[in-house]
Every structure is written in structure tokens, then in C-alpha cells.
């Protein structure tokens, strides 16, 4: 299942699910049309926080929609075409965006830096003419945990989404503390964290370590490989993090990949279209301005 957030008149957007037909089912509009469920989720976070019951209710709405007349559902707005429908980040404003490097150290990106797929990201500094983008796969937390065991931490994963870590500093070791702070500060501007377009639930994406992504600039492939940690034991990794971090539904945790060709930061200039995707599953693209 692919959960996403539709950009709408509501500040928080509207939760939706991408169907195999390529249409988006608006989960707020669906219960008024489809009689099998009167459960109305207010956001994607409310769906994943409800756990298996939430996902099962969404599956029931999807099954009902697939039995209905598609054209009728398109006319009344229950279904929306994926192409041309504006989307927000699937978690519009994550509580926590934690990015962990290969040395098990990490940093937090501001939730105010999050934008959705198709966004135009403007370079905010007049003396900077390029950005550096690193593609990442993030796990989406579906239940609260702190000081969890490996199994508890692994069971808390609701699904996965794509994330692009943008900054104005080139890659490299920042041994000097001031240089590290400057690099970290350059990752926090509005638009510095494109996310999406959807959360792919674990039943559809069960092996992130063994699935290869493609990274492109202006439709030219510049890298590829698994966007996941060298240690595929995500339960162990999250359990270790939970000894010092508390997690809640909607938090994102990304681990830098061991595949150098995929995770190396790409130099991006105004006018570049930067995209990362798992073919046939999920694709995130932004424009640099």
C-alpha cells in the first residue's frame, strides 16, 4: 500500500492511497461515498498510528472503491488522477527527521525543511550557486517506543519513504567543529528535505537492503544501488538509537547507504531536476532554482 498526502485547502492536507490503477483514493472523501466504513482518518499519521487495524480499514475502502464505477468516483472527487494532483510530503511535518551515518552518529533535520514531491527548491543564499543532494531511504515509525528491544523496534516500522538531504556544503569530512556546525546549519533551510511521494508499507517493501534505486539528474542516471545501511538489521539499529531517542508515529529515520555510487552527494545547479526512485514502486523528484 502506498499512502500519501494530497495538497488541499486544509493546512494539513488530506490522506490518500495510490491505487494500482494509478488513481489516488481520497480517504476523507471515500467514507461518504463508500458504505463499508465510516472511519475517516485525518492524516497519514493517524492511519499508521492505528497499526494493523488502520491499514485493514484502508484496504476495505480500497476494495470498495475498486468495485465502484471509476468515472463516477472521479466525477465526485473520491478518486483523483495521480498526474496533475499536487502532493505534500506524506508526513507533512515530521516530529523527528533523524539521519544516521555509517559510524552510528547522526543529525536531525528541521521538520520545517520538509517539502513534498515536485517541489521547486530555491537556493536561499545570494552567494551560493549550487546545492548538494544525497538520496536516502527513510523508515517511517508507526508506534511510540523508547529503549526498545530489536524486535520491538523492528515491529514499530510502518513503512518506507524516500528523502533527499540537501545542503550548500560539498561532501567530505568536517573534522573541525565549526566546519561541522556550518555544514549542519546549511541543511536546515526551507526545502532542504524533500520527502515522498508516498509511504510504501512493509507488506509491499519487505527488503530495502536488497532493492536497488536509481538516481538521476535531468533524466540522466548518475548513480544507483540500495539506499540502505550496511548493516541490514534495522531492528538492531533502531534499538540502539532508542536508548537515547524516543520515537513517535510519523518520525523518520534514514541510514546512509553503503553503496557509494548511490549515496554520493550530487552537485545540483539552478534548473536541474533531481530524482531518485525504485523503478515501478516509488519516485521522488524536485527542481532546483
Quote the pLDDT of residue 211.
83
Does the pTM surpass 0.75? The reply is yes
Quote the pLDDT of residue 199.
97
The closest of 56, 6, 1 to 26, measured between CA atoms, is: 6
190: helix, strand or coil? coil
Higher local confidence (pLDDT), 260 or 282: 282
The per-residue pLDDT for range 253-263, each reduced to its tens digit, is 998 776 545 55
Quote the pLDDT of residue 246.
95
The per-residue pLDDT for range 6-45, each reduced to its tens digit, is 998 767 799 999 999 899 999 988 876 665 556 778 899 9
Domains and CATH numbers, the chain: 2-87 (2.30.30.230), 93-288 (3.90.850.10)
Average pLDDT of span 232-238: 84
pLDDT averaged over every residue in the chain:
88
Quote the pLDDT of residue 188.
96
| 257-272 per-residue burial string, b: 16 or more CB within 10 A, e: under 16 | bbbeebbebbebeeeb
Q: Which residues pair with 3 in a beta bridge?
A: 17, 199
Quote the pLDDT of residue 8.
82
201: helix, strand or coil? strand
Above pLDDT 70, what percent of the chain? 91
Higher local confidence (pLDDT), 210 or 169: 169
Average pLDDT of span 63-78: 89
Average pLDDT of span 42-57: 92
User: 242 pLDDT exceeds 90?
Assistant: yes
Average pLDDT of span 126-142: 94
Quote the pLDDT of residue 152.
96
Quote the pLDDT of residue 205.
85
Above pLDDT 90, what percent of the chain? 62
288: helix, strand or coil? strand
φ, ψ (nearest 5 deg) of residue 70 = -60, -45
Quote the pLDDT of residue 260.
47
154: number of Cβ within 10 Å: 18
DSSP per-residue letters across 109-170: E-GGGEE-TTPEEPP--TT---EEEEEEEEEEE-S-BSS--HHHHHHTEEEEEEEEEEESSP
Please report the beta strands in the chain, taking only residues with DSSP state E, as ranges in sequence order. 2-6, 14-18, 23-26, 79-81, 87-88, 97-100, 106-109, 114-115, 120-121, 131-141, 157-167, 193-201, 213-217, 220-225, 252-255, 266-268, 273-278, 282-288
User: 62 pLDDT exceeds 70?
Assistant: yes
Amino acid at each position: 500500500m502506498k499512502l500519501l498526502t494530497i495538497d488541499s485547502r486544509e493546512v494539513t492536507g488530506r490522506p490518500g492511497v495510490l491505487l494500482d490503477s494509478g488513481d489516488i483514493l481520497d480517504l476523507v472523501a471515500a467514507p461518504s461515498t463508500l458504505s463499508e466504513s465510516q472511519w475517516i482518518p485525518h492524516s497519514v499519521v493517524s492511519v499508521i498510528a492505528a497499526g494493523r487495524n488502520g491499514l485493514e480499514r484502508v484496504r476495505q475502502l480500497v476494495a470498495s472503491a475498486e468495485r465502484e464505477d471509476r468515472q463516477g468516483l472521479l466525477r465526485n472527487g473520491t478518486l483523483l488522477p495521480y498526474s496533475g494532483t499536487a502532493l505534500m510530503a506524506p508526513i507533512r511535518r515530521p516530529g523527528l527527521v533523524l539521519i544516521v551515518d555509517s559510524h552510528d552518529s547522526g543529525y536531525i533535520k528541521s521538520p520545517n525543511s520538509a517539502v513534498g514531491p515536485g517541489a521547486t527548491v530555491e537556493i536561499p543564499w545570494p552567494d551560493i550557486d549550487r546545492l548538494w543532494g544525497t538520496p536516502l531511504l527513510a523508515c517511517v515509525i508507526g508506534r511510540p517506543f523508547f529503549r526498545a528491544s530489536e524486535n520491538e523496534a523492528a515491529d514499530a516500522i510502518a513503512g518506507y519513504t524516500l528523502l533527499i538531504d540537501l545542503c550548500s556544503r560539498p561532501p567530505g569530512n568536517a573534522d573541525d567543529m565549526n566546519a561541522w556546525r556550518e555544514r549542519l546549519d546549511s541543511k536546515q533551510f526551507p526545502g532542504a528535505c524533500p520527502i515522498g511521494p508516498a509511504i510504501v508499507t512493509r507488506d509491499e517493501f519487505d527488503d530495502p537492503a536488497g532493492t536497488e534505486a536509481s538516481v538521476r539528474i535531468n533524466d540522466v542516471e548518475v548513480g544507483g544501488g540500495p539506499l540502505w545501511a550496511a548493516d541490514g538489521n534495522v531492528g538492531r539499529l533502531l534499538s540502539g538509537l532508542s536508548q537515547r531517542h524516543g520515537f513517535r508515529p510519523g518520525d523518520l529515520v534514514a541510514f546512509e547507504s553503503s553503496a557509494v555510487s548511490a549515496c554520493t552527494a550530487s552537485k545540483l545547479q539552478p534548473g536541474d531536476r533531481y530524482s531518485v526512485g525504485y523503478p515501478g514502486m516509488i519516485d521522488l523528484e524536485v527542481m532546483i532554482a
